[in-house]
Amino acid sequence: MDYKITAAGGILAKKKDEKTFSLEHFLIPVHELLSDEQKKEVLLKFNITEEQLPKIKKNDPGLKLFNIKAKQGDVIRIKRKDPTGSYDYYRTVI
């Protein structure tokens, strides 16, 4: 996938079928792979185990879009924005 920075600072991505879309669009939440240390912090913060987190498949389109090479057991942070603020959601990779 090819990426370009626009004059407005947005990121455009081009798929193989040559359709262009923006990674900055409000309907595309940012996905991040957490480090092992960040993963432990999240689990301690919410007093949960890895198995209690909601699941996400390793071939999820959101992970592919952000080129995240996740393996089973990794934790993903999904940052969603709405008019009332920004919220983090966590998923464990299966």
Residue with tokens 């913060």: 45
Which element (helix H / strand E) includes 13? strand 11-14
All structural domains of the chain? 29-93 (3.90.940.20)
**Segment among 10-19, 44-53, 76-85 with least mean pLDDT:** 10-19
Q: Is the pLDDT of residue 36 over 80?
A: yes
Alpha carbon distance 50, 86 (integer Å): 23
Other beta carbons within 10 Å of 74: 21
pTM passes above 0.75 = no
